[in-house]
Amino acid sequence: MNKLHLADYAVFLLYFIIVSGYGLYIYYRKKAKNSDAKDFFLAEGSLTWWAIGASLIASNISAEHFIGMSGSGFALGLAISTYEWMAAATLIIVAVFFIPVYLKNKIYTMPQFLSQRYNGTVSTIMAIFWLLVYVFVNLTSIIYLGALAIMSISGIPFEWCIAGLAIFSIVVTLGGMKVIGYTDVIQVAVLILGGLVTTYLALTLVSEHFGYGENFLRGFQLIREKAPSHFHMIFHSSNPYYRDLPGLSVLVGGMWINNLNYWGCNQYIIQRALGADLNTARSGILFAAFLKLLVPVIAVLPGIAAYVLYQNGMFQTEMVDAVGNIKPDHAYPTLLNLLPSGLKGLAFAALTAAIVASLAGKANSIATIFSLDIYKKFFHKNATEKQLVLTGRWTVIIAMLLACLVAPALRSLDQAYQFIQEYVGFISPGVLAIFLLGFFWKRTTSAAALAAALLTIPLSTLLKFLPAWTNGHFPDYPFLDRMSIVFVFLICLMILMSLLDHKSKDQPRVIQIDTTLFRFSSAFAVGSVLILGILTALYTVFW
């Protein structure tokens, strides 16, 4: 039944008071002081490793995971977990090779890195690209999916859900990165606990449906027996969802481009670690990698359970739209509506925690890029710290309003998670190519970087739509393979352009790299080996 009871509201109200109260406390405490821009945008030096790790995960996990990833679990199965499990391996690479470079060169924003390494033109173009993607793809999709879920669970009108999420997120964001970082610890605890409750319920429901009583472990065995095709991580080309996850490309191709860009070159994510020292940042990132291993348990398994139940006669009306089309993204809200009073409030709070944390993190990054890389550079070069913080706060409000206006247009989507991955992937190959060569090859020229920045979206668009324009005479590549093609082309183009520019040999090394930076502690090594061992076991069992 799509409504909350008194016990649900009590649980949710407690969560809301704790998170909002802390956010407002920090906001008014800082308001009384002279706000420092670095503290507002980066929480410089004040986040512990566990706060950094929790904030990385809270900002990453949102409605697109609970709703979108469960929907993809319903449609195509455990294979969608590759985004999470490959991310755990990616985080180790980012901690070893990316973070030391940023911290050594005192990088606070990704456009700042591009300006420092290349020039202002490359920096500005990419800053504009990032702002457009963050506002009109990420922020918009998070609000849409979040509102859809809350409406499905509570019965509150869609428009009111959008408004409520936006206001709650703005309250948290206005306190700056320190508020976001430490409230994210609460958010992660709530979302993991609530997520595990929902997974337990889903597996228990499967067990009961097939006559085995309340036995969630038996429920897991049953979904493996009843939906064996949903437990393969690597798809054969004959699989109907091969275009979403094209076989070995998830291990050796486009998935690496997607993840390295997201976790290593993304203001929204990397910002959490830029205010810390190297050891703290690495420990936080490793903690996040361990948490990533858990995400499929709370986001994908409920979707597979819903699929098994649907195939066996349950949810025949809940999982279809008004004209009878199956809507995979209805899986998670449908399960939540079966939770008993009180537990439903906990799951509702978990979902809201994920949405609000992600919205707050995204909005803070939008504010950081606009304030430091657009406003200060082009509109007010002598802006004071207070003016930058004020600009950042207004940017948060305006970005959230824009996302709220655009969000209803996404109602036609079936699997929103795949939509997000594909369209963010239009910019990922160019960004990663520019950053990798900028880090590790000093001859890379600004002209080469500019070419990659300008070509990444047109090339991705061309590869996506050329098959339709040529009536199928051009191969229709899966989007992860398109990312690989564009990335390799741009890398080759950048190398060729840089080699043809004879002055590139005399370029000074602008980005300082000391190989000693890539050394890591024995504790970090043990943690990394443990994560890679778990990943090897998972892919071996579920190949």
Inside any domain, residue 526: no
Structure tokens at 408: 């209803």
Q: What is the mean pLDDT of residues 420-425?
A: 73
Pair 283, 347 in one domain: yes
Write the DSSP string, 362-398. Answer: HHHHHHHHIIIIIIIIII-TT--HHHHHHHHHHHHHH
Pair 408, 469 in one domain: no
Inside any domain, residue 32: no
Inside any domain, residue 411: yes
Pair 95, 135 in one domain: yes
From residue 225, how far is each of 203, 206, 305, 452 by CA, in Å? 13, 12, 11, 48
Q: What is the reported pLDDT for 138?
A: 80
Pair 235, 195 in one domain: yes
267 CB-contact burial (10 Å; exposed 0-12 / middle 13-18 / buried 19+): buried
Inside any domain, residue 543: no
Residue 44 has pLDDT above 60, yes or no: no
Domain C-terminal end among 392, 424, 456:
424
Better-predicted residue by pLDDT, 155 or 322: 155
Pair 392, 463 in one domain: no
Pair 299, 233 in one domain: yes
Alpha helix stretches (DSSP H) within 377-478: 385-406, 416-424, 428-440, 446-469
Pair 331, 477 in one domain: no
Domain C-terminal end among 365, 392, 424:
424
Q: What is the reported pLDDT for 518?
A: 84
pLDDT tens per residue across span 302-341: 989 988 988 887 877 777 766 767 778 778 877 877 777 7
Pair 110, 204 in one domain: yes
Better-predicted residue by pLDDT, 59 or 390: 390
Inside any domain, residue 542: no
Residue 493 has pLDDT above 70, yes or no: yes
Pair 464, 325 in one domain: no
Residue 419 banded pLDDT, cuts 50, 70, 90: low
Structure tokens at 207: 């067990």
Q: What is the CATH number of the domain that holds 137?
A: 1.20.1730.10
Domain count, the chain: 2
- Alpha-carbon gap, residue 240 to 196, rounded angstroms: 30
For 77-113, the three-class secondary structure string (H helix, E strand, C coil) is CHHHHHHHHHHHHHHHHHHHHHHHHHHHCCCCCHHHH
Residue 34 banded pLDDT, cuts 50, 70, 90: very low
Q: What is the reported pLDDT for 37?
A: 59
The reply to whether the predicted model has a pTM over 0.75 is yes
Q: What is the reported pLDDT for 24?
A: 67
Domain C-terminal end among 395, 424, 453:
424
Q: What is the reported pLDDT for 209?
A: 87
Number of H helices, E strands in the chain: 26, 0
Residue 94 banded pLDDT, cuts 50, 70, 90: very high
Pair 277, 399 in one domain: yes
Inside any domain, residue 529: no
Q: Which structural domain range is residue 499 located in?
A: 426-512
- Alpha-carbon gap, residue 113 to 124, rounded angstroms: 11
Lowest mean pLDDT among 27-41, 131-145, 356-370: 27-41
Pair 258, 314 in one domain: yes
Q: What is the reported pLDDT for 520?
A: 85
Pair 385, 309 in one domain: yes
Better-predicted residue by pLDDT, 157 or 410: 157
Inside any domain, residue 442: yes
Inside any domain, residue 523: no
Please say whether the beta carbons of 493 and 448 come within 8 A.
Answer: yes
